[in-house]
């Protein structure tokens, strides 16, 4: 158990819909990362927050947004969903030493 909790584990939704993925980091970790893993794109960095502030941005679509709340949990919002958004979405948290601890992921299926 990494200590990072992601909910829900599975999500099935229709195209055009909006969903919210939730992540609770390990106790004491201030950094939260979001990644997307698909078969053809590998593990893609989306966005990173540190203590509530956005610190780094990767290949995150404009239809996607995220935030980190004062209690350090984070949410990833995906809107106007397309079939191609179907993937595993991972959250990870990290202490100052740099290594990331990953949650179990949310498997999103857009139908």
> Is residue 38 packed enough to be buried (19+ CB in 10 Å), middle (13-18) or exposed (0-12)?
middle
CB of 69 to other proteins, least distance (A): 18
Closest by CA to 88, choosing from 48, 41, 53, 54, is: 41
Residues that bind other proteins (CB under 8 A): 2, 4, 31, 33, 35, 42-43, 45, 48, 50, 55-56, 58, 90, 92, 97-105
For residues 23 and 4, is the Cβ–Cβ distance under 8 A? Answer: yes
Please, which residue, 61 or 79, has the CB nearer to other proteins? 61
CB of 94 to other proteins, least distance (A): 8
CB of 80 to other proteins, least distance (A): 26
């Amino acid at each position: 158990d990494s200590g990072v909790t992601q909910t829900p584990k599975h999500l099935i939704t229709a195209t055009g819909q909006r969903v919210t993925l939730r992540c609770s980091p390990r106790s004491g970790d201030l950094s939260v990362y979001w990644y997307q893993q698909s078969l053809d794109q590998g593990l893609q960095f989306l966005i990173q927050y540190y203590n509530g502030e956005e610190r780094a941005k990767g290949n995150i679509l404009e239809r996607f947004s995220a935030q980190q709340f004062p209690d350090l949990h984070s949410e990833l919002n995906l809107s106007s969903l397309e079939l191609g958004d179907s993937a595993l979405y991972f959250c990870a948290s990290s202490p100052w030493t740099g290594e990331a601890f990953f949650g179990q992921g949310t498997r999103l299926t857009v139908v």
